[in-house]
Amino acid sequence: MTKLSVNINKIATIRNARGGSIPSIVNAAIKCQNFGADGITIHPRPDERHITRKDVYDLKNVITKEYNIEGYPSPDFINMVLEIKPDQVTLVPDGPDVLTSCAGWDTLKFKSYLKEVIQEFKSCGIRTSIFIDPNLSMIEGAKDCEADRVELYTESYAKDYNANKRLAITTYIEAAKRAGDIGLGINAGHDLNLENLAYFAENIPNLLEVSIGHALISDSIYLGLENTIQMYKRLL
């Protein structure tokens, strides 16, 4: 069964907009797990626009399910992940000025760097995933980098879903099949929501995990956090 990891960056964005400690990131992580989330995802950025360095360490003590830390593998990020030792690290190619993840890695161009970083994480028992477009060459490159998993960047699927969902998902099915054939686990995330998630989950073979934040937290404003998490879980 596909796992749901809840990205709680948006909770931190709300907190930081006012200052102080409300809403609590720690309490949000605890509640999400109690309400059925299979894991917690965060993406700390150098400017601490949402998740702060302190949050990363505070969460380590309360996440009893899977802890997934996303980020660009800068020296500071690498050192932090090695200290925390989360269950999974997801490597994204975003620079510090990027608002949100908007492209996958070029695993051919950055093969040597990614391979070196991944080996360091794996030597500490940290499962490693690479954020990637549904491109067969990039999938094969991820395998050469010795990643455990790939996270399929699903923005184009979400964007084209209403126009032609079958066409929108075609490249993702091909990418997932190729990943499975060469022994890579498959995660997915970005712009998945209550409308498009079920079709994606039904059609992507061996989908292990989806990471959802913006849409889920937005839905929870109207529907309640516990109810929203359960609604997403029922689609997987």
Question: Per the residue annotation, which of 43, 50, 66, 209 is the catalytic one?
Answer: 43
172 touches 139 (CB < 8 A): no
Question: Per the residue annotation, which of 50, 66, 70, 209 is the catalytic one?
Answer: 70
Question: Per the residue annotation, which of 50, 66, 151, 190 is the catalytic one?
Answer: 190
Please state, in angstroms and as integers, the Cα–Cα distance from residue 119 to each residue in 45, 80, 162, 177, 182, following that order: 23, 16, 40, 25, 18
Q: Is cis: bond before 46, omega within 30 of 0?
A: no
Examine the residue annotation and report whether 50 is marked as an active-site residue of this protein.
no
Reading the block at residue 192, the tokens are: 């998945």
H-helix or E-strand containing 49? none
Examine the residue annotation and report whether 70 is marked as an active-site residue of this protein.
yes
Examine the residue annotation and report whether 120 is marked as an active-site residue of this protein.
no
Q: Which residues in 105-154 belong to E strands, given as ranges? A: 127-132, 149-153
44 touches 53 (CB < 8 A): yes
What are the residue numbers of the active site? 43, 70, 190
